[in-house]
Structure 1
Amino acid sequence: MVAAEGTLTGAERPASEMLTGRLSALMFMQFFVWGAWNVTLGLVMQTVGIGNLIGNAFSVGPIASIAGSFLLGMAATRYLTPKMLMVVLHLVGGAILFVLPSLVTPEHGDAFVWLLLGYMILYMPTVGLANTIALKSFGERVDRFPFVRAFGTLGWIASGLIIGWAGLSASPQIFVVAAIVSVALGLYGFTLPNVEADAPRDEGVIRQVLCVEAFALMRQRSFLIFIVCATLISIPLAMYYAYASAYVGAAGVENVGGTLAIGQMSELAFMFSMPWLYRRFGVKPLLLVGMVAWAARYALFAIGDGGDSLWAIYLGVALHGVCYDFFFVAGAIYTGTIANPKGVNAQAQGMLTLFTYGVGMLLGAQVGALLYAQMPEVASIADWQQMWWYPAIAAAAIAILFQLTFRDNSRMEART
């Protein structure tokens, strides 16, 4: 059956090895672009004398996730296919990235933050779009998605290694590296599978912008519970990204970057195991294990120090793979399962990005800042340990809520 001008529907698309390779390249470049500048941006800004704006610069991501998801909801629903939207957003975004290095100066610091926000409004929707293209391309074989998504982690790791090898960690030229790959990805987008756009609906522009059809999915109790828990669990995720490096350093670990890289390696290892785990256990156990892992990680941080309990820090970092993959990767698959029968996959993936990388991460940044402000100016390891108990208890409570209220009826919902 043909959807439009030779475009196969997602369920009918053959999941060949060549398709897997093409989508793996997509994910590799998608996250290479982000990782190339995000990891060392704080160091760059501090080096050029605008360290006071680091907080503002790292707030643009969550804000852009919210604004960008509305952009995606409007464009992906009616005006552009996911493939063409990826092309446009990455080509325009690449042009902006080429401009950013000239603004990383004390004289233009504010303009830099504003333009970075504009770039992220374009970039963040492409995270959900990449998921949409991959999931629709695989059709029924969604178990192949975690393997493809693993190449996103490889891209993030590769970007950091290249930036470090080139001696650009403290240079604004990190944006040039990201720009080159962004333009390459925009051009590569023309070769991506031509998956069908969400079916046009007889609705006004306001309904499109507000992703009304995707939000309607939350009338299903299970999906509503998932979205709520995904938002809440993103709060401790933000705290990890913001404060883990400072905590590990306070514990006396000299190679902080190398230590935190253990988490990325763990993420990669578990990503490759996700297809078998998904087939074997289904959605709910994976989501639950992911949330429990967040509670366990912060409990380990709460007891870890630079002495005999140093092992707890390393183990807590290594749990990143379970924390992220078991919830966020499985969550993207679950979202596609619920949204595909309704024809609003792109909107739903954008909405998931809105609630996790947007609302959740923004709340996490604010909650983390409040907890951090309560610590003394020169925090001891004991101060850090006390702070980590808050996200540990919160994650445990979210896991209990999820276990008691969530029921995986996605197969039944897919037939409605």
Structure 2
Amino acid sequence: MTFTMSRLSAMMFLQFFIWGAWFVTLGTYLVQGPLQASASQVAMAFLSQSIGAIVAPFLVGLIADRYFAAQRILAVLHLAGAVLMWQASTATSFGAFSACVMIYMLLFMPTLALANSIAMRHMQSPEKQFPPVRVAGSIGWIVAGVLIGWLGWEQAHRLELTFKMAAAASLVLGLYALSLPNTPPLEQQRNAKLGQILGLDALRLLKSRSYLVFFLASIAICIPLSFYYNFTNPYLNDLGVRGAAGLQSLGQVSEVLLMLAMPFLFARLGVKTMLALGMAAWVLRYGLFAYGDAGAGFALLVGGIVLHGICYDFFFVTGQIYTDAHAGPASRSSAQGFITLATYGVGMLIGSFLSGAVVEHYTTAAGRDWQQIWLFPAGVALVVLVAFVFLFRERPVSVSAAPSASPTH
């Protein structure tokens, strides 16, 4: 790996270390920490990710891509993020905490696109060079989770330290970004129209029935996806699982391994089979969670977590490949922005609201009925799977590159 690729890998490592340092255990901190938040408040905090995903194209497309070098915007956003993360760690009310996290995610979500842009602009062959650099980001997420588990912050009820760790890493990345290769705006980015920036010219893809079915299924599957992101860590800690954040990092390990195998699997299984298997894995995962426990059923919990590779890669990464091939060279960037806004924006926005309502519904003075909570998203995923299998008609596509710019969770 060249020196430049090493520098870009370090950027990716820090980018996702920051996210994994606090996001995985956010629900547990809110429920068990000093704020004593309700399930609806937990959902509201996670909602910041969706709102950030919706706002990101405006910030990056209208400001960063037009007027400023990407590495400088990345530095400013992470330096501001360091301040907000530290303030979140000291907040004494949910209102103050929520405000810090909301503003932080409005600044953080655009950095995902900026980091990808910086990396790919300095590669001669992005389709070959980007995956190893991007994998460094997944490793960063894993290291953050393992570190939290090793330090025992969950059991010691010291999860406010996760925000301080994220703040420190954000400060390091903010300063480090200033040393990254110069990445000024491209001429076509300066002249891009609003519709292109937001990916709205990709609306024409919805004229195809197969893509419309895929698009609606993508939004719908993000509803049960929100249950995993928002409440898996509180669930594991409720059961008394030690080092829950570290255990959850096994999901990212499986994600990395399967991502490397994606081109091979895609060519042999095809779009419909891959997407269907991804949705089926969500049904199975929640079924395992519903009947798992920290004793004899611990293997079920581990199985549900390890399924993350299939859950995420088979649906979301396959979907990005399918979108890329369906859109064609002229509108690939717009189409990817459009599907990301629809899933991480609209889909998870709905899912966050619904997950909070469902958890509150099954919460009594005796505690949370996790079995019923997990069976709900399992049922939703099953309905989406059945509808997709019956309605989707595969259009042959070719894949020439490994998946590259997908967010990791």
| TM-based fold match above 0.5 | yes
Contact persistence 2:25–2:234 (CA under 8 A): no
**Residue in structure 2 matching 1:359, options 346, 365, 375:** 346
TM superposition shift of 1:238 = 1.0
**Does the aligned pair in 1 maintain the 2:255–2:312 contact within 8 Å?**
yes
In structure 1, stretches of 5+ residues that fail to align are 1-15
State the shift of 1:331 in Å: 2.6
What CA distance in whole angstroms lies between the structure 1 residues aligned with 2:358 and 2:324?
A: 36
Match of 1:402 among 364, 379, 388: 388
SS in 2 for 1:366: helix
Deviation at 1:201, TM superposition (A): 6.2
Cα distance, 1:189 vs structure 2: 4.5
Secondary structure of 1:173's aligned partner: helix
Residue 370 of structure 2 corresponds to which residue in structure 1?
Answer: 384
Cα pair distance change 1:234/1:99, threshold 3 Å? closer
Aligned to 2:404: none
Contact 2:289–2:374 at 8 Å: present in 1 too? yes
Q: Which of 243, 247, 252 is 2:231 aligned to?
A: 243
How far is the alpha carbon of 1:387 from its aligned partner?
2.7
Change (3 A) 1:18 1:368: same
Cα gap change, 1:373/1:360 in structure 2, threshold over 3 Å: closer, same or farther?
same
Residue pair 1:60, 1:116 contacting (<8 A) in 2 also: yes
CA deviation string 1:51-81 (max 9, x = no partner):
44655433211111112233334357x7258
Contact 2:74 2:174 in 1 (8 A): no
Moved more, 335-344 or 356-365: 335-344
Matched, 1:349 2:339: no
Which ranges in structure 2 are unaligned for 5 or more consecutive residues? 400-409
Distance 2:238 2:167 in 1: 33
- Whether 1:116 and 2:106 are equivalent positions in the alignment is no
Equivalent residue letter for 1:298: Y
Q: Retained in 2: the 8 A contact 1:301–1:312? A: yes
- C-alpha distance in 2, partners of 1:57/1:400? 31
Aligned to 1:331: 319
Q: What is the match of residue 361 of structure 2?
A: 374
Deviates further, 274-283 or 294-303: 274-283
Deviation of residue 356 (structure 1)? 2.0
Report deviation, 1:29: 2.7
What is the identity percentage for the equivalent residue pairs of Structure 1 and Structure 2?
36
Q: Residue deviations 1:143-175, cap 9 Å, x none?
A: 765544332210112234456667784335224
Structure 2 CA distance for partners of 1:296 and 1:215, relative to 1, 3 Å:
same
Residues 105-139 of structure 1: CA deviation (Å, up to 9, x unaligned): 45686455334323322321332454566678779
Q: Give 1:399 deviation, angstroms.
A: 2.3
Q: Summarize the alignment of residues 283-294 of structure 1 with structure 2, pairs less than 5 Å apart.
A: 283-294=271-282
Matched, 1:183 2:174: yes
Contact 2:145 2:248 in 1 (8 A): no
Q: 1:57 to 1:385 in 2, by over 3 A?
A: closer
Contact 2:290 2:375 in 1 (8 A): yes
Taking the aligned partners of 1:342 and 1:45, their CA distance within structure 2 comes to 45
Counterpart among 208, 214, 219 of residue 202 in structure 2: 214
TM-score (norm. length: structure 2):
0.78
Q: How many Å apart are 1:259 and its aligned residue?
A: 3.2
Report the aligned-residue RMSD. 3.8
Q: Are 1:163 and 1:174, in contact at CA under 8 Å, matched by a contact in 2?
A: no
Larger deviation: 127-136 or 231-240?
Answer: 127-136
Taking the aligned partners of 2:299 and 2:33, their CA distance within structure 1 comes to: 36
Q: Cα distance, 1:410 vs. partner?
A: 4.1
- AA aligned to 1:27 is M
Distance 1:227 1:90 in 2: 34
> Contact conserved, 2:21 with 2:145, CA < 8 A, in 1?
yes
Counterpart CA distance in 2 for 1:340 and 1:133 is 23
Partner Cα distance (1:261, 1:107) in 2? 29
Q: Structure 1 pair 258/100, CA: closer, same or farther in 2 (3 Å)?
A: closer
Residue 261 of structure 1, aligned match among 235, 249, 259: 249
Q: Structure 2 CA distance, aligned partners of 1:411 and 1:269?
A: 22
* CA deviation after TM superposition for structure 1 residue 294, in Å: 0.7
Report Cα offsets for 1:350-405 as digits up to 9, x if no partner: 33332222222221121112221221425678x32233222222212222333331
Amino acid aligned to 2:347 = G
Matched residues in 2 for 1:135 and 1:225: separation?
A: 31
User: What does residue range 36-115 of structure 1 map to in structure 2 within 5 Å?
Assistant: 36-41=21-26, 49-52=34-37, 55-75=43-63, 79=66, 84-85=69-70, 87-102=72-87, 104-106=89-91, 110-115=95-100
Name the SS for the 1:190 alignment partner: coil
**Matching residue's letter, 2:386:** I
> Does the CA contact (< 8 Å) of 1:94 and 1:179 recur in 2?
yes
Which stretch has the larger CA shift, 303-312 or 353-362?
Answer: 303-312
Alpha-carbon distance between aligned partners in 1 of 2:92 and 2:289, rounded to the nearest angstrom: 40
Moved more, 174-183 or 207-216: 207-216
* Alignment: residue pair count: 389
Q: Which segment drifts farther, 259-268 or 168-177?
A: 168-177
Q: Does 1:170 align with 2:175?
A: no
Correspondence for 1:277 among 265, 277, 282: 265
Residues 46 and 303 (structure 1 numbering): CA distance in 2 closer, same or farther, change over 3 Å?
Answer: closer
- Pair 23,272 (structure 1): closer, same or farther in 2 beyond 3 Å: farther
Deviates more, 1:247-256 or 1:355-364: 247-256
- The more displaced of 358-367 and 300-309 is 300-309
2:219 aligned with 1:231, yes or no?
Answer: yes
> Could you give the per-residue CA deviations for residues 174-215 of structure 1, whole angstroms, max 9, x where no partner exists?
2432322431453355356x8967667674x5x456542233
Q: Which amino acid aligns with 2:340?
A: T
Q: Whole-Å Cα distance in 2 between the matches of residues 291 and 139 of structure 1?
A: 35
Contact 1:286-1:326 within 8 A present in 2 as well = yes
Return the offset for 1:318: 1.5
Aligned equivalents of 1:220 and 1:85: distance in 2?
A: 35
